[in-house]
A and B are shown apart, each in its own frame.
Chain A
């Protein structure tokens, strides 16, 4: 997890030199945000577009940052929204619409490693979950956020995030057990 001190450094640098601060922010969070977006969009080109839109949006709102503010929830909220928006261009789906499940599993593109069967199956299992459960599971399992932060990112309570994570984990375990 990004420490509060580093976030403070970034925000202070932004207040002195907007571009230098933004570069520091991009270097600190860019790769993690890409990973988060890619787990939602699956395809590299879509993740690239969504990351670019995310960072542009971030840049335009740098002035609203306050000293002591945690950057990760804010950045991930924007990234999640942009990733879902990018994915919606192909299929109708919303993080708020838990009834709709995206059955699109990992698809072949140049930047997809099919040799790791377990990792591929795990992504397929995750993509069978409702969107909110997908987001919560990814944020907990891969990004290791606490439930309060996850709730802030996906717009729910911490308790709801916890329930969603455990439901997601149960479904994934059942899927993986039946296939491995």
Chain B
């Protein structure tokens, strides 16, 4: 059996695109990329809110465990645990939870 030889140019693929796809895509990308973004201050506030919401969630869990199971964990332990996280882990929590409607609602009502 003769071993298969990879074809030289043109190196074909079976993938096709709709007519005018790239031109259309360029306009969509430009429109999205140049659309006004949230201001830096607003983003900072949202991030701070998300961190607070995460802490509030941690406290809620802590309180529910205090009433339901042993061993009990103090609220300060959760805060201390959050403080011990690396910057990237904190950023991850912020990115993950800043748009969480339940956590941010809880945080808003708790304040």
A59 and B35 alpha carbons, distance in the complex (Å): 12
Distance (Å) between the CB of B23 and the closest chain A CB?
9
Contact with B along A110-121 (1 / 0, CB 8 A): 011110101110
The answer to whether B4 and A177 touch across the interface, beta carbons within 8 angstroms, is yes
A106 with B14: in contact, given A27-B26, A56-B33 (CB under 8 Å)?
yes
A39 with B13: in contact, given A56-B33, A173-B6, A177-B3 (CB under 8 Å)?
yes
Q: Which residues of B contact A116 (CB under 8 A)?
A: 12, 14
The answer to whether A172 and B26 touch across the interface, beta carbons within 8 angstroms, is no
A-B contact count (CB 8 A): 85
The answer to whether A44 and B15 touch across the interface, beta carbons within 8 angstroms, is yes
The answer to whether A112 and B4 touch across the interface, beta carbons within 8 angstroms, is no
Interface bracket on B: 20 to 34
Q: Which residue of B lies closest to A173 (CB)?
A: B4
Q: Which residues of B contact A177 (CB under 8 A)?
A: 1-4
A142 and B21 alpha carbons, distance in the complex (Å): 21
A52 and B22 alpha carbons, distance in the complex (Å): 11
The answer to whether A113 and B11 touch across the interface, beta carbons within 8 angstroms, is no
A23 and B28 alpha carbons, distance in the complex (Å): 11
A173 and B28 alpha carbons, distance in the complex (Å): 40
The answer to whether B17 and A114 touch across the interface, beta carbons within 8 angstroms, is no
Q: Is the interface of B mostly helix, strand, loop or mixed?
A: loop
Q: A146 contacts the other chain (Cβ, under 8 Å)?
A: no
Interface bracket on A: 35 or more
Distance (Å) between the CB of A99 and the closest chain B CB?
25
The answer to whether B13 and A119 touch across the interface, beta carbons within 8 angstroms, is yes
Q: Which residues of A contact B28 (CB under 8 A)?
A: 52
A112 with B16: in contact, given A30-B25, A176-B4 (CB under 8 Å)?
yes
A113 and B16 alpha carbons, distance in the complex (Å): 7
Q: Which residue of A lies closest to B11 (CB)?
A: A142
Q: Which residues of A contact B36 (CB under 8 A)?
A: none
Q: Which residues of A contact B16 (CB under 8 A)?
A: 44, 111-113
Q: Which residue of B lies closest to A113 (CB)?
A: B14
A119 and B14 alpha carbons, distance in the complex (Å): 6
Cβ contact of A59, chosen from B22, B25, B29, cutoff 8 A: B29
**What would 22 A/B residue contacts be, using CB atoms closer than 8 Å?**
A19-B34, A23-B26, A27-B26, A30-B25, A31-B22, A34-B22, A35-B13, A39-B15, A44-B15, A52-B25, A55-B29, A111-B15, A111-B17, A112-B16, A113-B14, A122-B6, A122-B13, A123-B14, A169-B6, A173-B4, A177-B1, A177-B3
A111-B17, A119-B14 known, 6 other contacts, Cβ within 8 Å: A44-B16, A60-B33, A113-B14, A113-B16, A119-B12, A123-B14
